[in-house]
Amino acid sequence: MTLLRMSSLALSRSRFALSPLAETLASMMVLAAPYADPWLAPWHARHRGAFLAALDADPFAKGLVRLLGSTKWMPAHVVLPPAGGMRTVLDDELAHVATMPDAQVRAELEESVAHSWEQHALDQWLSGRNWAARTADLFRSTWTAHVAPDWPRRRALLERDVTYRAGLLAAYGWPRALEQMSRRSAWVGTDAVRFSDRPSPDRFVGEDGMQFIPIAAISAGTWLCEAPPASYALVYPARGSAATDPRPEPGQALARLIGTGRAAILHELRRPATTSELAAQLGLSLGTVGGHLTVLRDADLVTGTRIGRRVVYHRTTTGDLLAGRHQDP
């Protein structure tokens, strides 16, 4: 078991963040696999052919992606903790990726090969120079072609996950906020997070605290981002990560009963969300969403809870019953 230990100060400064770099890494691993989970199949089918064609044209990129998808040790230069919090942008992350010297990149890749469950002929594709910069180019091209068009929708999903966990944090503390974050992570004692079942020396988080980063492209799996001397971030699958492709429509019977717009909102509120998050997810104006929420709230189908400056809406018991009862098979 491997633990991330935190002082009370580090714990108080821990926070959530977004990472386009982590989202791109997860997307590459999904596209490299022959099959995807059913809810990712449409996106996988649309993008995989072009992604594989780009890899076939670049032996370095092909070898790196294959290694990333078959190792328990992610190379440090592709799993850096983000510096921009919830406003992190890919350009800033890639600027850091590109700075690692070749000797360090090779050492990290050799460690990844040692922890891989497949055989890798590293010297066959690790040729030339400037491997960190070439890695950054691969991530940038993958982001541009396959992730960026879907980023607004994914970002809305990720922000909803953060909103949900921030509410748990405010009400119950970090142990509850981390609950079910991944299959292996859990709160241990009063000052530590377990992030792996494998034996390894404990890590000690610096006074700036650690970051928790949701991703939408995978529904299972997690990894640790680390930067010296004591900066850490834990990447985990967002709740509802299946929603990277168009969401199922609400039941027709429910739409006939309360209207299409209100039915869509009630359907979306199977996961709590703010007005702006609902507007982004459904492609509606804030005013339209606000009006529908007022009617749903007056009918005791949804309720709102204030968390800081946000009001997070969720279905009431009556709303759950109505939404479930009127879903078409």
Per-residue pLDDT of the chain (329 residues; tens, 9 = 90+): 788 999 989 988 999 999 999 999 999 999 999 988 777 788 999 999 999 999 999 999 999 999 999 999 999 999 999 999 999 999 999 999 999 999 999 999 999 999 999 999 999 999 999 999 999 999 999 999 999 998 988 888 888 888 888 877 877 788 888 877 777 777 888 788 887 777 788 889 999 999 999 999 887 778 999 998 889 999 999 875 544 444 445 567 788 888 888 998 998 888 788 898 888 778 788 889 999 999 999 999 999 888 777 788 888 888 888 887 544 33
Q: Which residues lie below 8 Å from residue 107, measured CB to CB, with a gap of 6+?
A: none
Give the whole-angstrom CA distance, residue 149 versus residue 244.
11
**Per-residue confidence (pLDDT) for residue 153, from 0 to 100:** 82
- 283: alpha, beta or left, given left = phi > 0 and alpha = psi -120 to 50? left
Question: Are residues 127 and 183 located together in one domain of the fold?
Answer: yes
pTM of the model: 0.77
* Contact criterion met (CB below 8 Å) for 302 and 266: yes
Reference 164, options 150, 149, 176, 146; nearest CA is: 176
Q: Which pLDDT score is estimated for 240?
A: 58
C-alpha distance from residue 202 to each of 193, 195, 241 (Å) = 10, 10, 29
pLDDT score of 245: 43
Same domain (yes/no): 263, 198: no
| Residue where one domain finishes, among candidates 223, 241, 259 | 241
Same domain, 181 and 56: yes
Q: Are residues 137 and 236 in the same domain?
A: yes
Same domain for 114 and 219, yes or no, is yes
pLDDT at 182: 74
- 8 and 73 inside one domain: yes
**Residue 139: predicted pLDDT:** 98
Query: Does one domain contain both 167 and 254?
Result: no
Collapse the DSSP code of 308 into the 3-class scheme (helix H, G, I; strand E, B; otherwise coil) and give the result. Answer: coil
Token couple for 101: 């010297």
Residue that finishes a domain, picked among 212, 241, 270: 241
For 53, 269, 296, the CA distances from 40, given in Å and listed in that order, are 20, 21, 31
Residue 281: CATH number of its domain: 1.10.10.10
Q: For position 289, what pLDDT does the model report?
A: 92
pLDDT of residue 177: 83
Are residues 112 and 152 part of one domain?
Answer: yes
Query: Is 230 found in the same domain as 257?
Result: no
Residues 130 and 229 in one domain: yes
206 shares a domain with 106: yes
Domain count of the chain? 2
What is residue 138's predicted lDDT score, i.e. its pLDDT? Answer: 98
Helix axes 131-142, 41-56, angle to 10 degrees: 140
Please state, in angstroms and rounded to a whole number, the distance separating the CA atoms of residues 224 and 228. 13
Per-residue pLDDT, 156: 84
* Domain region containing 291: 247-325
- The domain boundary residue, chosen from 241, 256, 289: 241
Alpha helix ranges (H) inside 178-315: 252-258, 260-268, 275-282, 286-298
Give yes or no: residues 105 and 204 share one domain. yes
Which whole-number Å values give the CA distances from 166 to 53, 119, 153, 212, 238, in the listed order? Answer: 41, 42, 20, 11, 13
CA distance 150 to 117: 31
Residue 2 burial (CB < 10 Å; 0-12/13-18/19+)? middle
